[in-house]
Amino acid sequence: MGSMNTSLLNDNFWAKKQVLVTGHTGFKGSWLSLWLSRLSARVTGISIEPNTNPNLYTQLNLIKRIENHHIADIRNGAKVAEIVKACRPDVVFHLAAQPLVRRSYEQPLSTWETNVQGCLNLLEALKKSDKKCAVVMITTDKVYENNNWDFGYRECDRLGGVDPYSASKAAAELAISSWRASFCGKGSQQTEHLEIATARAGNVIGGGDWSEDRIIPDAIRALTAGQPISIRNPQATRPWQHVLEPLSGYMRLAEALLNESKKDISHQSLCEAFNFGPKIESNLSVSRLIEQILKHWPGNYIDLPSVNEPHESHRLNLQIDKAYHRLNWQPKWSFITTVEKTVNWYKKTNNGHDPYECCLEDIKDYTSQSTPD
């Protein structure tokens, strides 16, 4: 890919837009809500209470920075419909999910209900509106039937999933595609006001993730306590990317969905799936990630044998040509920059810096960079 200018988000587009973010109390949802609020969007959030302490939503004091904050379960269709009716969104970002592979083995039914029924509840609520709306439904890179290929998965590759999380997200993709084909168009059962696409990101890292069973927060907790970092699958490869990368892709996709006549956008329909992954050089092993972390925060790590561990994919990679050619989107930050920004966020906040200011600094650095590393 070339080094095209990637400063493509239209800041003016977001001013005063009614934007609904589901899962706004989560890691990615908090970053997205903050970014949108800084662009003067009128953000409404639907989510359950933050389930970690600390959590980025509270650290950023987002309850005072967004317009409306609703604690509600996406599985509650009536409540979702009530909030959507009141909000009348121009743009929807659906991030609410049960996002953890290992937890999905412990809570398979609630994982399926949240990740599939939650999507359909939201779409049914939006169907009742008559306002033109761009809907970006976020799934995951794990929706693909994993064959441990050396090359990346394309949006047209077969969906699958062994663990309940991956399979439920693949099922969500099918449910969204079916719903869109059935109800978006012309006819007695159709609606013409919704532009619906799905987005599949890589393994997202960045400051403010405090989830369990994720390599970055687990590493930071160990380093803060002066303990070695425990890693389960050191040779497993993942497409590591900073959280701002896919968020910029989601926002770019939403802009394009509402205005497909832009000169730099193909006239081909964008109501499809899009991968938003990192550069190929960022598809590296867990051990390489840990080694890079330790360059910025000295410590040690130990390999823990994977005995009786639930199944997780060994090799995972995304192709992003479609987003590049159809949306003029590509990642900006290299693997080295991504890890540096991530670790520095935790180091700064651990030393007393304001998490809000640290996030704003990262957003400023990201948006001001016109070409990729």
Per-residue pLDDT tens over the stretch 164-213? 999 999 999 999 999 999 998 765 567 889 999 999 999 999 999 999 88
| Whole-number pLDDT of residue 9 | 81
Residues in the chain: 373
Express as a percent the part of the chain with pLDDT over 70. Answer: 92
pLDDT exceeds 70 at position 310: no
DSSP string spanning 270-325?
--SEEEE---GGGEEEHHHHHHHHHHHS---EEEPP--SPPP--SB--B--HHHHH
Count CA atoms closer than 13 A to 160's CA, side-chain side: 10
Question: Which residue, among 75, 33, 89, has the nearest Cα to 56 in the 3D structure?
Answer: 33
Express as a percent the part of the chain with pLDDT over 90. Answer: 83
Place of tokens 């990740």: 115
pLDDT exceeds 60 at position 314: yes
Strand 283-285 to 237-242 pairing? antiparallel
129 or 33, higher pLDDT? 33
CA dihedral 205, 209, 211, 216 (to 10 degrees): 50
Per-residue pLDDT tens over the stretch 219-254? 999 999 999 999 988 998 999 999 999 999 999 999
Per-residue pLDDT tens over the stretch 321-356? 999 999 999 999 999 999 999 999 999 999 999 999
Average confidence (pLDDT) over 281-306: 93
DSSP string spanning 313-371?
-SB--B--HHHHHHH-------HHHHHHHHHHHHHHHHTT--HHHHHHHHHHHHHH--S
Per-domain boundaries in the chain: 11-368
Cα separation values, 287 from 155, 304, 306, 314, Å: 28, 12, 15, 13
Class of the CATH-defined domain 11-368: alpha beta
Per-residue pLDDT tens over the stretch 245-280? 999 999 999 999 998 644 444 446 899 999 999 999
| Whole-number pLDDT of residue 358 | 99
What would you report as the CA-atom Rg of the chain, rounded to the nearest whole angstrom? 20
Cα separation values, 251 from 91, 101, 137, 268, 364, Å: 9, 26, 12, 19, 16
Indicate if the alpha-carbon torsion angle 43, 48, 51, 53 is positive or negative: positive
- Against a cut of 0.75, is the pTM above it? yes
Per-residue pLDDT tens over the stretch 103-124? 999 999 999 999 999 999 999 9
pLDDT grade for 316, boundaries at 50, 70 and 90: confident
**Edge-to-edge strands of the sheet including 283-285?**
203-205, 237-242, 283-285
